[in-house]
């Protein structure tokens, strides 16, 4: 019987959003890695995802990042 080859994984963190993710290849420049969310926040003109996906993620159709709901303050 053949031995099963083990997959080596590398854990990285997005420098902007602090999201953690796992890759199966070692990154040459781990400090330069960005999550998909961070990339599209930096380059909204490059966002070519379908409208259905943007709606599911909470983005408006205009391609602007979602805004947090305004907090009400009592005076």
In tens, the pLDDT along 7-61 reads 899 999 998 888 898 999 999 998 888 888 888 889 999 988 899 988 888 876 5
Domain presence at residue 59:
yes
Q: How many domains does the chain contain in total? A: 1
The structure's pTM equals: 0.56
Rounded Cα gap, residues 74 and 59, in angstroms: 29
Rounded Cα gap, residues 34 and 15, in angstroms: 6
Domain presence at residue 51:
yes
CA angle 23, 19, 66 (to 5 degrees): 125
Q: Which pair of tokens denotes residue 75? A: 């005076």
Domain presence at residue 20:
no
Structural domain including 60 reads 30-66
Domain presence at residue 75:
no
In tens, the pLDDT along 15-29 reads 888 889 899 999 999
Domain presence at residue 73:
no
Domain presence at residue 14:
no
């Amino acid at each position: 019987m053949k031995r099963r080859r083990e997959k080596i994984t590398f854990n990285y963190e997005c420098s902007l959003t602090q999201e953690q993710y796992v890759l199966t290849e070692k990154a040459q420049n781990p400090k330069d890695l960005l999550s998909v969310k961070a990339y599209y926040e930096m380059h909204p003109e490059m966002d070519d995802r379908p409208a259905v996906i943007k709606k599911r993620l909470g983005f408006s159709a205009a391609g602007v990042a979602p805004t947090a709901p305004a907090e009400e303050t009592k005076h």
